[in-house]
């Protein structure tokens, strides 16, 4: 091989190698994003859906240790957003009503900002008699959910409340932002708050159940499609009474379909108030 051709070939190989390294560092590198979700007492909460990048279908579920982990490309921007809106009755009892009432009347104040947030079941940034009324209506079956709130709320664990006695005085972060990801990020932790449960008695293993409509025997699922679907509902009886199973949840294109199921009530079907009212329910 002539020297000129050899020199030219070596230069091309050198440039190709540099381009490969540069491309890998900028676009093909992937990094791990992880954290844990626990109660304020440090108890892990499993089965929490953690949305990281819904546009690209990147989500995770917390395991038995409350741990979640996803892998994102270098340079990613993402919003870590835990979510669970099932089983509003979990952990809510007459004792919670009494404790909330005592806080409202000043007899005995709640001793943590997380408990105060839990007591605010109507999500109006205050603990009032309306919150005790909302708990009572839920327990009596008058309403299936807290009308203006989710079943669980999640606060960035690194956030320090300026005034713990009034957590609503300033906005508290319920998501964590990631900008221009350039390395592994750990300890993106959240404190889980079960709305309505101010004495910390809620079950923390949020394992899924599957509900089946008795009329069509069709499993209640939401599958990711190319066009974001509208929230679905099932009519369990001829009376027209219906329960929205997937609320305000839309997902865009993804390679693999994903099944969305309801969170567990952790009771036998005959004991579950939701199952009794709807007339159907199959635990899996």
Q: In the chain, where are the structural domains located?
A: 30-206, 208-284
Q: What is the mean pLDDT of residues 95-110?
A: 97
- pLDDT reading at 215 higher than 70: no
Please give the pLDDT value at position 53: 74
| pLDDT above 70: residue 156 | yes
Indicate the pLDDT class of residue 7, thresholds 50, 70 and 90: low
Model confidence at 269: pLDDT above 50:
no
Please say if the pLDDT value at position 213 is more than 60.
no
- Alpha helices, DSSP H, located in 65-195: 94-105, 113-119, 129-139
**Confidence bin at 1 (pLDDT 50/70/90):** low
**Does position 22 have pLDDT exceeding 70, yes or no?**
no
What is the pLDDT averaged over residues 200-210? 74
Tokens standing for residue 203: 């079950």
What would the pLDDT profile of 52-80 be if each residue is shown by its tens digit? Answer: 875 666 789 999 999 999 999 999 899 99
- Say what the pLDDT of residue 9 is: 52
- Strand, coil or helix: 270: coil
Distance from the first to the final alpha carbon of the chain? 70
> How many other C-beta atoms can be found within 10 angstroms of the C-beta atom of residue 248?
7
User: How far is Cα 204 from Cα 195, in angstroms, rounded to an integer?
Assistant: 13
Task: Specify the pLDDT at position 112.
Answer: 97
Banded pLDDT at 99 (limits 50, 70, 90): very high
Q: What's the rounded mean pLDDT across residues 197-207?
A: 89
- Closest alpha carbon to 202 in 118, 99, 280: 118
More confident: 97 or 214:
97
Highest mean pLDDT among 104-113, 204-213, 258-267: 104-113
Q: Given this model, what pLDDT does residue 58 score? A: 79
Q: Token pair for residue 264?
A: 């567990």
Residue 123 pLDDT level (bands cut at 50, 70, 90): very high
Provide the CA 181 distance to its chain's centre, in angstroms: 22
**Per-residue tokens: 55:** 């546009």
Q: What pLDDT was estimated at residue 84?
A: 92
Q: Is the pLDDT of residue 160 over 50?
A: yes
Could you tell me the fold of the domain covering 30-206? Type 1 dockerin domain (1.10.1330)
pLDDT above 80 (res 14): no
Q: Which of 85-99, 163-177, 189-203, 230-244 has the lowest mean pLDDT?
A: 230-244
84: closest CA among 152, 144, 147? 152
């Amino acid at each position: 091989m002539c020297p000129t051709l050899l020199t030219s070939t070596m230069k091309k190989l050198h440039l190709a190698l540099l381009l490969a390294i540069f491309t890998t560092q900028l676009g093909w590198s992937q990094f791990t994003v992880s954290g844990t979700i626990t109660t304020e007492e440090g108890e892990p909460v499993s089965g929490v859906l953690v949305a990281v990048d819904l546009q690209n279908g990147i989500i995770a579920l917390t395991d038995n240790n409350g741990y979640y982990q996803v892998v994102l490309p270098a340079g990613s921007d993402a919003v870590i957003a835990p979510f669970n809106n099932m089983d509003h009755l979990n952990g809510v009892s007459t004792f919670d009503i009494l404790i909330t009432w005592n806080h409202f009347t000043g007899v005995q104040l709640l001793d943590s900002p997380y408990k105060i947030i839990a007591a605010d079941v109507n999500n109006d940034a205050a603990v009032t008699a309306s919150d005790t009324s909302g708990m009572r209506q839920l327990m009596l079956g008058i309403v299936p959910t807290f009308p203006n709130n989710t079943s669980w709320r999640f606060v960035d664990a690194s956030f320090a409340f300026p005034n713990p006695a009034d957590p609503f005085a300033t906005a508290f972060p319920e998501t964590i932002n990631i900008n221009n990801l350039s390395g592994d990020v750990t300890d993106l932790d959240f404190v889980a708050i079960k709305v309505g449960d101010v004495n910390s008695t809620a079950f923390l293993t949020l394992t899924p159940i599957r509900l089946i409509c008795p009329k069509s025997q069709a499993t209640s699922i939401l599958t990711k499609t190319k066009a974001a679907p509208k929230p679905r509902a099932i009519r369990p009886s001829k009376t027209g009474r219906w329960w929205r199973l997937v609320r305000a949840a839309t997902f865009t294109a993804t390679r693999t379909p994903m099944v969305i199921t309801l969170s567990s009530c952790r009771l036998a079907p005959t004991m579950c108030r939701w199952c009794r009212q709807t007339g159907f329910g199959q635990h899996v």
